[in-house]
Amino acid sequence: MYTIVHEFPHDLFKVREGPCVSLFMPTYTKAPDYKQNQIVFKNLVRDMEKSLLQKYPRRSHQYIIDTFKDMADDLELWSNISEGLAVFYARGETIVYCLSKPVKELIVVADSLHIKPLIENFQYADCYHALGINREEFTLFNGTRYCVNEVRLGKDIPNNIIDELGEDYSSAYISGRYGGANSEGTYHGHGDKSKLIAQDTEKFFRFVDKAVYDHYSKLTKFPLVLIALPEYQNVFREVSDNPYLLDEGINTNYNIFTVDKLNEEIWKVVEPIYKKKEEELLERFENSRSNDLASADLADIAKSSISNRIETLIVEQDRIIPGRVNKINGDIEEGMLDHPEFGDLLNDIVLLTIQNGGRIIVLPKEAMPEDTGLAAIYRY
């Protein structure tokens, strides 16, 4: 009925024939709030049903409605979500993204998919991951300059050393025995115990490093901040193969912070990196514009999206401009956002840019070079 996907962009984004359904929602990860997830989803599905009937009254929508209602009751889906959910339907196919950062509630029914919030999740310019770890357990966080949230790990990723290393770990330190459950075992002195602890810590850190990279860093390419006591900083960095791990970390116990304080401390490490990236991007935009290879004019950018000129598209976060791009001549056509043949003009240009292999970067309003909602650097 649906497929959970990780690759971005997806071929489904190329569909240009409605009805296309785009659903976004933040998700609760802690009891008892997580029980609200299915309720919120069902409410959005009801809104979707009304929108389908209003915008496409002559078509049969029962398959779409049944697909989303089945998802609402799918306990396996709801047990694996993390910070947010994005669901897309087009031309008989439904795909799901389990997001690593929250998104705003949104349901859009139109002739193309609305993917801007998804782009922010994958390419948003100030996203980060933070890994808090000690020798017994770890917690992964994701955040932006504005907030930080704990990542709800998949059920196949244990967050503590006992669940990862199993019975041998606890029995070695409680009884002095180190070996399999059916072995006679060997008893050790104090020095051997310290050595075993160090070995198990290293095994645990290797597991955490691989899990974080395979399931998170590899997909998002977010910078990773390590929060740990100095002795654990050293051990983790020695075993880590994660290329997104920052050289600078936070040398303290991660669980002493409140949420707000945690974000404040992490942002001190991350902000200089993003400031530099933003400055380099905006400098490149201005240099390109001086050579007629960049623009912040919507009409010019729209035409360039049709002719495959856009190399980098800078999009204002949360900005929506009703309208669409004429796919033949690149003209901007004005229209109401709730009209079935129109939608968000910026989203239209984003989709065209992605299809042509362009790069998308989302920035907050205050960081944009102009107030038009878009800025583009051209290939030629």
Q: What is the pLDDT of residues 101-117, one digit of tens each?
A: 778 899 989 888 988 88
**pLDDT at res. 177:** 42
Tokens representing 79 are 């047990």
Residue 170 has pLDDT above 70, yes or no: no
Instruction: Label residue 191 by pLDDT band (50, 70, 90).
Output: low
Percent of the chain at pLDDT > 70 equals 87
Instruction: Label residue 173 by pLDDT band (50, 70, 90).
Output: low
* Domains and their CATH numbers in the chain: 3-123 (3.30.960.10), 128-274 (3.30.420.60), 292-378 (3.30.1330.30)
DSSP letter for 331, please. Answer: -
With beta carbons less than 8 A apart as the criterion, state whether 117 and 344 touch.
Answer: no
Q: Which residues pair with 264 in a beta bridge?
A: none
Q: What is the tens place of the pLDDT at every residue in 346-365?
A: 989 998 998 888 989 988 89
Instruction: Label residue 156 by pLDDT band (50, 70, 90).
Output: confident
Task: Report the candidate in 154, 152, 160 with the shortest Cα–Cα distance to residue 133.
Answer: 160
Q: What is the tens place of the pLDDT at every residue in 283-324?
A: 999 999 999 999 999 999 999 999 999 999 999 988 889 888
- What CA–CA distance (Å, rounded) separates 89 from 1? 11
Q: Which residues pair with 23 in a beta bridge?
A: 87, 107
Count how many residues are written for the chain. Answer: 380
**pLDDT at res. 30:** 66
256-257-262 Cα angle (round to 5):
145
